[in-house]
Structure 1
Amino acid sequence: MREFHHIGLPTDTSQPGEVYVEDTKVWVTDPRKHPYKVEYLRFEKDSPVKGPVRDLPHIGFRVDDMAEALRGEHVLLEPFSPSPGFFVAFVLRDGAVFEFMTFEHESNLPWK
């Protein structure tokens, strides 16, 4: 299963309600609180995230099986856990960035 979850937009402007994800040094907003399911990402200058994930918008999908979702894809960021029970990975396909997400409960998302 791949279910649309959000669109991620990089920004240099602080956003209301953003929270800090220490591992990636990025501030993120909760797309569930945006009427069009937009997640804003504001990267610290020394964020380890580089390239297309940092520079381009992305489309986020909830997936049932991360390994299956990544099979055959050009992986930009291997799966990591920004909070307990929540895993994300980023891939590049046809020049676009996609985020795949698995989580046990939506309450485990980093903006909770």
Structure 2
Amino acid sequence: MKKDIQYQFHHFGIPVQDGDTAGVHSEKAGMYTTDNPGNFRVQWHRFTDDSPLHPLIKTVPHVAFKVNDLARAIEGEEVILGPYEPIDDYLVAMINDAGVPIELIQTSLDDDELWARARRGQGSLYRSDD
């Protein structure tokens, strides 16, 4: 963690290898995402066999933090995904923190709008390049 960056817990992601294809699908990421119906922000991620994502993302749970400066937060870090904008107005990068994937997020969206956009598949992660 960098002293000049503000980190705020956002969500926890858990990779699952059960073959379920429920949830919002991203063909680009080869991933299905399902939100936990409980009160806390937990997501279940399931991956296709040909998912191009880094092996850590597909096998190790990750924690996500909102940061006030994504570019500065990833400076000097081993970036394993991004930075990119998977959902409109939601910038993301994932880093390898000693074998644990950490998702860092910069956004002006409030949580309700962000999760609504994700559930609707509203963003570049869900659009095909065709």
TM-score over 0.5 for the alignment? yes
User: How high is the TM-score relative to the length of structure 1?
Assistant: 0.83
- In structure 2, how many angstroms separate the alpha carbons of the residues matched to 1:44 and 1:98? 21
Counterpart contact for 1:15–1:29, Cα < 8 Å: no
* Equivalence map 1:47-58=2 (5 Å): 47-58=51-62
| Match in the other structure for 2:34 | 29
Q: 1:83 aligns with which of 83, 87, 92?
A: 87
Alignment of 1:91-106 (within 5 A): 91-105=95-109, 106=111
More strand by share: 1
Aligned match of 2:13: 8
Q: Find the partner of 2:68 among 64, 69, 89.
A: 64
Runs of at least 4 residues off by over 4 Å: none
Q: Which amino acid aligns with 1:64?
A: N
Identical positions, percent: 29
Structure 2: gaps of 5 or more residues: 1-5, 121-130
Q: CA deviation at 1:37?
A: 2.1
- TM-score, normalising length from structure 2? 0.73
**Alignment gaps of 5+ in structure 1:** none
> If you compute each CA radius of gyration, which structure gives the higher value, 1 or 2?
2
Q: How many residues align?
A: 110
What root-mean-square deviation, in Å, do the aligned CA atoms of Structure 1 and Structure 2 show? 2.0
